[in-house]
């Protein structure tokens, strides 16, 4: 180690300051009487040194003090800690080969000449981990992550190379070759495992339909790979949450993939684990890849909607088509033919069915007689949510007789007007109706004019007015669109809805707006506009037993503002026994967000309930489920990927070796890597802003002054 000092001023200026300081000091003490020569020299030196420091400060001298050290070069040791590294193939188990590499003489030589920095990877990256504490239990392998990590950490020029110990099988993240091309140093890859594929049967993937509904048949497909079992017939079994629900006999190919399909009709909505399993065969390399799973999100089923129209108007056709085209709904239709009957012959049986919501268009109107009684009785007896859309045959007397409507009509002004739509302020809309309001607000500037009869009415207590009519630029003091979450009824008092789609091609309004509006609106109607103040989800639906289960939550107040100071507790129960297995409290991370996790859960399906509150005040609740199931992604490919390991070494200018080759001969090192690395550690400071230097200057002046006084000098 040595030190070097560098100044940012020319040498001549540095010398000038020295001569000037000495000259001034000499002139001040040259004619001073009553003092000996040594004392005169001592005082002059103090003053000259202080002047010199003050001159340097005035010139704002920048000084670099460089400490020069030597150190070993860095070597990143990339260690694969994934499950596939726990396999046994060839002449030795892979964990034993890794230990043999780390304890070998060539590796000891590397530790002598280099600073080894371990980087353990699997589904993620861990640094600073003890290389003797590998568990080989990571559920996935992302080879791109450790290479990107070393690329960022090794750009200081101190890294000689990276040593990769892996079987080369990656199943997550991007192709690592792209990241390797950007490395500023080579990769020496050490392959662990056998490159020859063994006899094995693998369930590679399970695929479900994009939308699955309870009580509806769908298809589950499995892709099965086989090596060495050509022509062998096996039974593939489909399990739902651990219970077998189907099986198929499959003839395996000699080498390659085959597919098998199952019919799947879920009984209940929610998260279900679907697993396809093949019993082990004689001589199989691994039994850990004989099954694969997928999480199936089963919906309740399509909501049953009944559309009742007072006449076959254009709006009816558009309402009918957009509700039918939504995957969320099954639609039944009744259209009034006369006041006593509907067009549909089986109207009585249609009315008798159970519905999730009813849409009335211009019904009842002035012509409704017998039909009025049938529909009114159905609405009263079932309490089903319903929405009323006005038409041009509006009848105040008959509409007022309908149960639970959010308004009372007091009269009707003759004539038909074209009106615009004026939305209420967002602050007046309850949180549960915000999705409907947001959709309207996002497109309000593109709304076409709608038809409107001046319906004189007043909203009932509890009803929220989302929009008012605008006539000739003036907002009318009458509601246009109302929603009562308590009674789950709504009313839209304008017509001409078909204009939304007709105008879309001209105005740029999304052509799917009417469908999106009806879907969002009907969902809010069915739920009663309930706002989920607390929403809690797991980061995934299926976890490997070696992984922590992570929870994310969002908590808001009734007005939609975030709540950050609540106690948010999650109770986790086993689905089979319904016993509590864990209670955790999520921590706030701001903006209404909360996070937390739990580890050590065994295989199975779990239910969770979450509650939030402050003191004795309840703020919200939510629930859900997740599954812990061993993932077999690590065992889909069981042989060493020697081609990828060779490529990683080749594109970076490194070398590929098998584990045995490394233990026998090590790697060929470049001579310059063995040379000590020079490291310049520089400290820069400015004299003018350096308090210690200025303090020394004034201290010298103070010592001079005190000494003069002690010696009796002026």
pLDDT tens string 44-103: 777 777 777 666 666 655 555 556 566 788 999 999 999 999 998 876 899 999 999 999
The CATH number given to whatever domain includes residue 542 is 2.60.40.1930
Among 58-72, 371-385, 492-506, 538-552, which stretch is predicted with the lowest mean pLDDT? 58-72
Q: Same domain for 544 and 669?
A: no
Contact 583, 571 (CB under 8 A): yes
**pLDDT > 90: percent of the chain:** 42
Q: Same domain for 247 and 312?
A: no
How much is the average pLDDT of 208-223? 87
The CATH number given to whatever domain includes residue 253 is 2.60.40.10
Q: Alpha-carbon distance 105 to 404, whole Å?
A: 86
Evaluate whether residue 104 is within a structural domain. yes
Contact 572, 580 (CB under 8 A): yes
Contact 586, 595 (CB under 8 A): yes
Q: Same domain for 454 and 499?
A: yes
Q: Same domain for 262 and 276?
A: yes
**pLDDT > 70: percent of the chain:** 88
Confidence of residue 675 (pLDDT cuts 50, 70, 90): confident
Give helix 11-30 / helix 37-58 axis angle, nearest 10°: 140
Contact 315, 369 (CB under 8 A): no
Q: How many CB atoms are closer than 10 A to CB 378?
A: 19
Domain's final residue, options 248, 276, 299: 299
Give helix 314-325 / helix 513-527 axis angle, nearest 10°: 80
Evaluate whether residue 633 is within a structural domain. no
| Pick from 631, 577, 543, 605: nearest CA to 240 | 605
Q: Same domain for 333 and 414?
A: yes
DSSP-derived secondary structure for 639-701: S--HHHHHHHHHHHT-EEEEHHHHHHH-----HHHHSPEEEEEEEEEESTT-HHHHHHHHHHH
Sign of CA dihedral 35, 39, 43, 45: positive
* Cα–chain center distance at 259: 32
* Burial of 322: CB neighbours in 10 Å, binned 0-12, 13-18, 19+: buried
Evaluate whether residue 593 is within a structural domain. yes
Q: Alpha-carbon distance 122 to 113, whole Å?
A: 28
Q: What is the pLDDT of residue 196?
A: 84
The CATH number given to whatever domain includes residue 110 is 3.40.50.410
Instruction: Using the predicted structure, report yes or no on whether residue 221 has a pLDDT greater than 70.
Output: yes
Q: Same domain for 444 and 330?
A: yes
Q: Which residue has the higher pLDDT, 232 or 497?
A: 232
Element (H, E) at 58: helix 37-58
Residue 627 CA neighbour count, 13 Å, CB half: 19
The CATH number given to whatever domain includes residue 375 is 3.40.50.880
Residue ranges in 388-497 assigned as alpha helix (H): 396-400, 434-442
Q: Which residue has the higher pLDDT, 632 or 342?
A: 342
* Cα–chain center distance at 400: 50
Evaluate whether residue 452 is within a structural domain. yes
Q: Alpha-carbon distance 316 to 312, whole Å?
A: 6
Q: Same domain for 475 and 568?
A: no
The position carrying tokens 């009487």 is: 33
How much is the average pLDDT of 570-586? 94
* Burial of 31: CB neighbours in 10 Å, binned 0-12, 13-18, 19+: exposed
* Cα–chain center distance at 153: 25
Domain's final residue, options 299, 325, 345: 299
Among 79-93, 103-117, 381-395, which stretch is predicted with the lowest mean pLDDT? 79-93
Q: What is the pLDDT of residue 638?
A: 86
The position carrying tokens 């070069």 is: 73
Q: What is the pLDDT of residue 17?
A: 65
pLDDT tens string 430-488: 767 878 888 888 777 777 889 998 888 999 998 999 999 999 889 998 899 999 988 89
Evaluate whether residue 401 is within a structural domain. yes
pLDDT tens string 690-701: 666 667 777 877
| Pick from 145, 265, 158: nearest CA to 208 | 265
Q: Alpha-carbon distance 505 to 499, whole Å?
A: 11
Confidence of residue 19 (pLDDT cuts 50, 70, 90): confident
pTM (2 d.p.):
0.59
Average pLDDT along the chain: 85
Q: What is the pLDDT of residue 3?
A: 47
Q: Same domain for 495 and 550?
A: no
Q: What is the pLDDT of residue 5?
A: 47
pLDDT tens string 134-160: 889 888 899 999 999 998 887 777 889
* Burial of 221: CB neighbours in 10 Å, binned 0-12, 13-18, 19+: middle
Contact 372, 407 (CB under 8 A): no
Q: How many CB atoms are closer than 10 A to CB 151?
A: 19
595: helix, strand or coil: strand
Instruction: Using the predicted structure, report yes or no on whether residue 687 has a pLDDT greater than 70.
Output: no
Q: Which residues of 601-618 are buried (b: 16+ CB within 10 A; e: fewer)?
A: beebbbbbebbbbeeeee
Q: Same domain for 585 and 600?
A: yes
Element (H, E) at 387: strand 386-389
Evaluate whether residue 332 is within a structural domain. yes
How many Å is the Cα radius of gyration of the chain?
40
The position carrying tokens 């001592």 is: 42
pLDDT tens string 522-569: 988 888 766 678 889 998 888 888 889 999 998 988 766 889 999 999
Q: Which domain holds residue 377?
A: 303-527
How much is the average pLDDT of 290-318? 89
Evaluate whether residue 634 is within a structural domain. no
Structure tokens at 638: 């069981």
Q: How many CB atoms are closer than 10 A to CB 553?
A: 23
Q: Which residues of 101-138 are buried (b: 16+ CB within 10 A; e: fewer)?
A: bbebeebeebeeebeebbbbbbbebeeeeeeeebebbb
Instruction: Using the predicted structure, report yes or no on whether residue 516 has a pLDDT greater than 90.
Output: no
Q: What is the pLDDT of residue 629?
A: 87
Q: What are phi and psi of 477, to 5 degrees?
A: -90, 50
Residue 190 CA neighbour count, 13 Å, CB half: 27
Q: Same domain for 511 and 558?
A: no
Q: Same domain for 172 and 212?
A: no
Q: What is the pLDDT of residue 358?
A: 96
Structure tokens at 541: 């639906």
- Describe the strand order of the beta sheet including 62-71 as a list of residue ranges: 2-7, 62-71, 677-686
Structure tokens at 2: 């040595």
Q: Alpha-carbon distance 247 to 260, whole Å?
A: 10
The position carrying tokens 């050490």 is: 190
Q: What is the pLDDT of residue 497?
A: 85
Q: Same domain for 342 and 423?
A: yes
Q: For strand 291-299 and strand 212-213, is the pairing parallel, antiparallel, or unpaired? A: parallel
As beta bridge partners, residue 606 has 574, 626
Using H for helix, E for strand and C for coil, what is the string for 263-315? EECCCCCEEEEEEEECCCCCCCCCCCCCEEEEEEEEECCCEEEEEEECCCCHH
As beta bridge partners, residue 411 has 456
321: helix, strand or coil: helix
Instruction: Using the predicted structure, report yes or no on whether residue 663 has a pLDDT greater than 70.
Output: yes
Contact 372, 402 (CB under 8 A): no
Q: Which residue has the higher pLDDT, 173 or 244?
A: 244
Evaluate whether residue 152 is within a structural domain. yes
Q: Which residue has the higher pLDDT, 120 or 67?
A: 120
Q: Alpha-carbon distance 356 to 359, whole Å?
A: 10
The position carrying tokens 């246009």 is: 480
Confidence of residue 401 (pLDDT cuts 50, 70, 90): confident
Q: Alpha-carbon distance 292 to 289, whole Å?
A: 7
Count of structural domains, the chain: 5
Q: What is the pLDDT of residue 410?
A: 87
Structure tokens at 640: 């060493």
Q: Alpha-carbon distance 186 to 116, whole Å?
A: 15
Domain's final residue, options 499, 527, 555: 527
Q: What is the pLDDT of residue 34?
A: 64
Give helix 513-527 / helix 498-507 axis angle, nearest 10°: 140
């Amino acid at each position: 180690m040595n030190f070097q000092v560098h100044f940012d001023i020319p040498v001549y200026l540095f010398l000038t300051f020295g001569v000037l300081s000495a000259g001034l000091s000499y002139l001040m003490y040259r004619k001073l009487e009553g003092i000996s020569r040594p004392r005169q020299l001592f005082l002059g030196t103090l003053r000259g040194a202080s002047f010199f420091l003050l001159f340097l400060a005035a010139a704002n001298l920048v000084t670099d003090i460089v400490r020069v050290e030597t150190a070993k070069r860095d070597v990143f040791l990339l260690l694969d800690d994934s499950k596939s590294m726990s396999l046994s193939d060839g002449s030795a188990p892979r964990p034993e080969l890794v230990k043999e590499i780390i304890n070998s003489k060539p590796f000891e030589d590397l530790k002598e000449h280099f600073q080894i920095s371990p980087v353990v990877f699997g589904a993620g990256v861990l640094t600073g981990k003890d290389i003797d504490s590998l568990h080989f239990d990571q559920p996935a392998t992302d080879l791109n992550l450790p290479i990107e990590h070393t690329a960022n950490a090794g750009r200081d020029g101190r890294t000689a190379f990276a040593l990769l110990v892996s079987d080369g099988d990656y199943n997550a993240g991007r192709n690592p070759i792209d990241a390797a091309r950007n490395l500023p140093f080579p990769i020496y890859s050490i392959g662990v495992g056998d490159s020859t594929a063994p006899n094995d049967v693998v369930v590679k993937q399970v695929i479900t339909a994009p939308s699955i509904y309870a009580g509806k048949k769908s298809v589950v497909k499995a892709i099965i790979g086989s090596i060495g079992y050509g022509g062998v017939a096996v039974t593939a079994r489909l399990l739902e949450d651990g219970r077998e629900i189907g099986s198929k006999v499959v003839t395996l190919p000699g080498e390659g993939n085959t597919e098998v399909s199952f019919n799947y009709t879920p009984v209940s909505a929610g998260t279900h684990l679907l697993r396809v399993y093949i019993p082990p065969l004689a001589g199989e390399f691994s039994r850990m890849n004989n099954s694969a799973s997928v999480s199936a999100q089963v919906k309740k089923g399509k909501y049953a909607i009944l559309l009742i129209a007072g006449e076959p108007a254009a709006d009816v056709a558009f309402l009918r088509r957009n509700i039918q085209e939504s995957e969320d709904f099954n639609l039944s239709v009744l259209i009034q033919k006369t006041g006593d009957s509907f067009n549909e012959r089986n109207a009585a049986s249609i009315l008798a069915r159970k519905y999730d919501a009813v849409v009335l268009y211009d019904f009842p109107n002035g012509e409704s007689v017998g039909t009025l009684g049938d529909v009114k009785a159905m609405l009263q007896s079932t309490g089903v949510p319903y929405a009323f859309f006005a038409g041009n045959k509006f009848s105040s007397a008959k509409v007022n007789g309908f149960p639970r409507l959010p308004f009372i009509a007091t009269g009707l002004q003759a004539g038909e007007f074209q009106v615009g739509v004026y939305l209420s302020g967002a602050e007046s809309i309850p949180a549960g109706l915000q999705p409907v309001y947001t959709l309207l607000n996002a497109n309000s500037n593109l709304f076409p004019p709608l038809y409107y009869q001046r319906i004189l009415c007043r909203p009932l207590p509890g009803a929220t007015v989302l929009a008012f009519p605008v006539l000739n630029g003036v907002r009318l003091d009458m509601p246009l669109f109302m929603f009562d979450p308590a009674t789950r009824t709504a009313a839209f008092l304008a017509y001409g809805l078909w204009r939304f789609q007709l105008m879309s091609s001209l105005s740029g309004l999304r052509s799917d707006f009417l469908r999106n509006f009806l879907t969002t609106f009907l969902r809010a109607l069915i739920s009663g506009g309930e706002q989920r103040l607390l929403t809690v989800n797991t980061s995934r639906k299926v976890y490997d037993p070696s992984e922590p289960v992570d929870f994310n939550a969002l908590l808001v107040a009734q007005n939609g503002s975030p709540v950050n100071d609540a106690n948010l507790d999650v109770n986790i129960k086993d689905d089979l026994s319904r016993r509590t297995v864990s209670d955790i409290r999520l921590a706030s991370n701001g903006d209404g967000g909360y996070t937390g996790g739990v580890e050590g859960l065994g295989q199975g399906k779990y239910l969770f309930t979450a509650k939030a509150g402050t003191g004795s005040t309840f703020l919200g609740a939510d629930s859900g489920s997740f599954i812990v199931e061993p993932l077999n992604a690590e065992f889909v490919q069981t042989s060493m990927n020697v081609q990828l390991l060779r490529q990683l070494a080749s594109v970076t200018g490194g070398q590929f070796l098998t584990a045995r080759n490394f233990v026998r001969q090590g790697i060929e090192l470049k001579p310059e890597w063995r040379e000590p690395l020079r490291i310049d550690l520089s400290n820069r400071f400015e004299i003018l802003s350096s308090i210690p230097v200025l303090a020394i200057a004034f201290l010298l002046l103070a010592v001079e002054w005190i000494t003069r006084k002690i010696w009796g000098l002026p």
